[in-house]
């Protein structure tokens, strides 16, 4: 969704721009979900509950890390810091985004920056371009992230579509009991259907194994335990 504050990155225009990478407490990070790609799944699964959701524009399945229980609630944020060792690339890339001609295009796309982000400064922080207008090491890391995201999203999409074909995905509603009587529920989530995974046989089992689907299923199934941590954080906030 392009809003007015999005500008295509340009060495001339953005030569003075700096990004404060020390603070995560900015508007863009006050979200209760972040997109995840399979390449990073084995890492993020140790710290985040990961579910399957649908892309709003295509309806395709994608992976999502749950960060909070209501719109804008990010329980991983504590002051300026982020309470996890590993951050999803989808968070690290901010305040940058990739502008592509359309959703399914694999064309390279352009990196754009959200000028409304409070992470942007002109005194402190990481420079984007050096004096000769070449990308700095920082920006090169960002560029690498986008190329990972681009390939990773496509791999994730294909793998989840395959898992769906094998009937391994099911819709779930998560009801969470918080302090005292309060409870909340998360909708639009899908999870791996454990029973269907254990019932895979013969060539289907082999195909799922070879395509890496089984591994993804097991990782996703194991990530649910991080909900307990989120509930604890949420309950502590309210005390």
Angle at which helix 137-165 crosses helix 213-223, to 10 degrees, equals: 100
Sole binder of another protein in the list 55, 183, 184, 222 (CB under 8 A): 55
Could you tell me the smallest distance in angstroms from the CB atom of residue 59 to another protein? 4
Interface with another protein, residue 76, by CB under 8 A: no
Residue placing its CB nearer to another protein in the complex, 150 or 191: 191
The phi, psi pair for 62, rounded to 5°, reads: -145, 165
Query: 90 to 129, contacts with another protein by CB under 8 A?
Result: 104
Interface with another protein, residue 27, by CB under 8 A: no
Q: What is the secondary structure of 151-190 as a DSSP string?
A: HHHHHHHHHHHHHHHTT-EEEEEEEEE-STT-EEEEEEEE
Query: 173 to 192, contacts with another protein by CB under 8 A?
Result: 188, 190
| 229 three-class SS | helix
Interface with another protein, residue 140, by CB under 8 A: no
Residue placing its CB nearer to another protein in the complex, 57 or 222: 57
Interface with another protein, residue 133, by CB under 8 A: no
Could you tell me the smallest distance in angstroms from the CB atom of residue 139 to another protein? 33
Question: How big is the chain, counted in residues?
Answer: 239
Are 177 and 69 a contacting pair, CB within 8 Å? no
Could you tell me the smallest distance in angstroms from the CB atom of residue 21 to another protein? 33
Interface with another protein, residue 48, by CB under 8 A: no
| 217 three-class SS | helix
Q: Which stretch binds another protein (CB under 8 A): 105-113, 122-130, 144-152, 164-172?
A: 164-172
Question: Of 72, 196, 108, 92, whose CA–CA distance to 145 is shortest?
Answer: 92
Strand duo 81-82 + 77-78: pairing: antiparallel
**What's the distance, CA 167 to chain centroid?**
24
Sole binder of another protein in the list 5, 58, 106, 118 (CB under 8 A): 58
Interface with another protein, residue 60, by CB under 8 A: yes
Structure tokens at 121: 């400064």
Q: Which stretch binds another protein (CB under 8 A): 3-11, 38-46, 138-146, 166-174?
A: 166-174
Interface with another protein, residue 164, by CB under 8 A: yes
Cβ neighbourhood burial of 38 (10 Å; 0-12, 13-18, 19+): buried
Residues near another protein (CB under 8 A) are: 54-61, 104, 164, 169-171, 188, 190
């Amino acid at each position: 969704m392009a809003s007015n504050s999005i500008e295509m990155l340009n060495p001339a225009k953005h030569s003075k721009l700096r990004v404060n990478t020390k603070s995560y407490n900015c508007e863009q990070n006050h979200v209760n979900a972040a997109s995840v790609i399979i390449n990073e799944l084995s890492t993020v699964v140790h710290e985040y509950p990961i579910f399957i959701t649908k892309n709003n524009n295509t309806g395709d399945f994608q992976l999502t890390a749950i960060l909070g229980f209501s719109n804008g609630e990010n329980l991983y944020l504590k002051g300026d810091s982020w309470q996890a060792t590993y951050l999803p690339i989808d968070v690290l890339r901010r305040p940058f985004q990739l502008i592509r001609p359309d959703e399914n295009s694999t064309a390279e796309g352009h990196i754009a920056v959200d000028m409304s982000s409070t992470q942007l400064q002109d005194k402190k922080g990481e420079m984007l371009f050096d004096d000769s207008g070449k990308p700095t090491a920082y920006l090169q890391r960002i560029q690498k992230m986008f190329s990972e995201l681009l390939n990773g999203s496509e791999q994730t999409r294909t793998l989840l579509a395959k898992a769906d074909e094998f009937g391994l995905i099911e819709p779930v509603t998560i009801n969470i009991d918080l302090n005292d009587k309060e409870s909340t529920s998360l909708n639009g989530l899908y999870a791996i259907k454990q029973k269907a995974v254990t019932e895979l046989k013969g060539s289907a089992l082999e195909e799922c194994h070879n395509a890496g689907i089984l591994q993804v299923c097991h990782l996703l199934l194991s990530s649910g335990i991080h909900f307990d941590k989120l509930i604890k954080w949420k309950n502590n906030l309210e005390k």
